[in-house]
């Protein structure tokens, strides 16, 4: 969330930021509640001061004077109680609005309502050309008996899948290569809970807003909150130090979480539902950086985590492009966001494989994630995250790009050590 004092001083920026993101938010309502709250606090403090002063006088009084003073003390106590009663709902309303207040996008974020306004910054690699009629990932995997869709649907409903045989080994090889790459770049691997309490999702800015996309696990114990399945290990990794005050010498923290991820994908239709592009369960290696409150360092980290992801796609020999995400497509919490999109021949288009986001203090303030600087002052951290790799979506690009005329799949050279040196996967067709 944003600092309320900062919102007071930058109301126009907050108002404009919400408009750019296409998120309805009433800044004036928040400021009016804040003004009312400050007035009540002032009245409460005045009443307490009078109460303290009169309390000291009572001991020196007697007779009628003492009775008058005691009666006044009773009135003041009721007044203080009344102010406290007004403050509680005001604080709750303000907190609700603060959680809903979007982080203004940076000035260099492109304007636009959705992903159609995203701006291509650069591309890498050449789109493949084929001397044969290429197949999409569904046909390729079904020809090799690597994919079950219908049977998976009986188990888990629509958008479920079963990988089989070499497809499983390929997925695990890609995940392992991603871990090797990110550990080699100084990140600490974490295997984290995928079942979390609601505060972690609120703290990382998924709530409010993404409730309908998140699987809820009802808690049978009436006196405890429900749990939720994470859509990314970013939630667990970023919230790991929630409520803590770190020492500046501990920073930056560079983590990479590996976990299964779960998303309901409510309301999504069309071509994205074919095969394994948009599914309910997938696996991901996610990089998270937690550092001091410094915009220059945040920008440097953002460039670094983006480069990590690009290195992964380059090792997989997958053509891709980097886009700057438009204000209307970047979500409530993001300050700036890049997407990486790999070329997917079966779609004849780019498909998103990575999202690299910086938040400044937005997540950390919600999580109570702080550090003590060299002068001893407590500040909120800056946080960033990006995918290292997510599967099975990356398998779409990998299989379709490296398919061969006989239906087999060429294994990129960097991936071969994770597949026992195999250069080709699958059995050649008899055509």
Q: Is the peptide bond before 384 cis (omega within 30 degrees of 0)?
A: no
Phi, psi of 372, rounded to the nearest 5 degrees: -105, 120
DSSP secondary structure string for all residues of 338-394: EEEEEEETTTTEEEEEEEEEEEETHHHHHHT-EEE-TTS-EEEPEEEEEEEEEETHH
Give the three-state DSSP class for 118: coil
Is the Cβ–Cβ distance between 103 and 334 less than 8 Å? yes
Q: Name the token pair of 309.
A: 């992801």
Beta strands 245-247; 409-410: pairing state: unpaired
Can you count the helices (H) and strands (E) in the chain? 12, 18
- The Cα–Cα gap between 112 and 118 comes to 8
Question: Which DSSP letter does residue 2 get?
Answer: -
Distance, in Å, from the CA atom of 341 to the CA atom of 344, rounded to the nearest integer, reads 9
Sheet with 378-380, side-by-side order of all strands: 245-247, 370-372, 378-380
Strands 349-360 and 370-372: unpaired
Spell out the residues 6+ positions from residue 60 whose beta carbon is closer than 8 angstroms to its own. none
Q: Which residues are catalytic?
A: 263, 278, 352, 355, 393
């Amino acid at each position: 969330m944003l600092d309320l004092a900062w919102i007071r001083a930058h109301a126009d920026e907050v108002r404009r930021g919400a408009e750019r993101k296409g998120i309805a938010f009433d800044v004036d309502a928040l400021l009016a509640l804040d003004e009312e709250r400050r007035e009540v606090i002032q009245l409460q403090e005045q009443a307490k001061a009078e109460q303290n002063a009169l309390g000291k006088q009572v001991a020196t009084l007697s007779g009628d004077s003492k009775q008058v003073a005691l009666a006044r003390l009773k009135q003041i106590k009721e007044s203080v109680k009344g102010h406290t009663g007004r403050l509680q709902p005001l604080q709750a309303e303000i907190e609700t609005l603060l959680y809903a207040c979007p982080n203004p996008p940076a000035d260099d974020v492109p304007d636009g309502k959705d992903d159609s306004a995203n701006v291509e910054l650069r591309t890498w690699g050449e789109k493949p050309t084929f001397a044969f009629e290429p197949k999409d990932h569904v046909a390729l995997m079904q020809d090799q008996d690597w994919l079950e869709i219908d049977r998976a649907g009986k188990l888990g409903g629509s958008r479920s899948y079963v990988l089989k045989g070499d497809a499983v080994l390929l997925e695990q090889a890609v995940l392992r290569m991603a871990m090797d790459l990110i550990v080699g770049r100084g990140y600490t691997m974490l295997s984290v809970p995928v079942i979390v309490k609601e505060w972690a999702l609120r703290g990382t800015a998924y709530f409010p807003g993404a409730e309908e996309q998140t699987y809820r696990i009802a808690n049978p114990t009436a006196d405890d909150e429900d749990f939720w399945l994470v859509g990314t290990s970013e939630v667990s990794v970023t919230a790991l130090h929630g409520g803590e005050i770190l020492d500046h010498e501990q920073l930056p923290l560079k983590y990479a979480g590996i976990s299964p991820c779960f998303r309901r994908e409510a309301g999504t239709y069309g071509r994205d539902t074919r095969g394994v592009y948009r599914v309910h369960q997938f696996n991901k290696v996610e990089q998270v950086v937690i550092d001091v409150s410094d915009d220059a360092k945040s920008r440097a980290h953002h460039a670094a985590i983006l480069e990590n992801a690009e290195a992964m796609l380059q090792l997989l020999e997958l053509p891709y492009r980097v886009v700057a995400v438009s204000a209307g497509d970047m979500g409530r919490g993001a300050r700036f966001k890049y997407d990486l999109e790999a070329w997917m021949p079966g779609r004849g288009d780019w498909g998103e494989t990575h999202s690299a986001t910086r938040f400044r203090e937005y997540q950390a303030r919600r999580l109570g994630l702080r550090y003590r600087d060299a002068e001893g002052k407590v500040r909120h951290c800056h946080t960033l995250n990006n995918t290292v790799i997510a599967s099975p979506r990356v398998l779409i690009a990998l299989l379709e790009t490296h398919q061969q005329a006989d239906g087999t799949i060429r294994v990129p050279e960097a991936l071969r050590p994770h597949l026992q040196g195999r250069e080709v996967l699958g059995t050649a067709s008899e055509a």
